[in-house]
Amino acid sequence: MQKNFAQFSMKDALRLANSDTGKQLLGLLQTNHAEAASAANKSAGKGDYEEAQRALKELMADPQAKALLRLLWEEYYGRNGK
């Protein structure tokens, strides 16, 4: 699943966030993982990406979040991850 996210534009992010899957994921974040998302956002804003990654471990342990992220991945890259 490793891809070059430098090629991922704001337009791409908005398209995915506004998709049905993106809206479901954002709702899940707001409902079940608001503190983890906030902590990750603050850490990333300070440039502390290791701390942001630690904060997101809670989210990544959620099977529903994993499934939604997989769907977003497929929406962006296609089923084969290209």
Q: Per residue in 17-68, pLDDT tens?
A: 899 999 999 999 889 989 988 999 899 899 999 998 988 888 889 999 999 9
pLDDT at 68: 94
pLDDT at 1 over 60: no
Q: Which two tokens stand for residue 81?
A: 């991850």
Q: What angle do CA 21, 13, 3 make, to 5 degrees?
A: 95
Residue 82 in this model has a pLDDT that exceeds 90: no
**pLDDT at site 27:** 92
Give 77's pLDDT tier (boundaries 50, 70, 90): confident
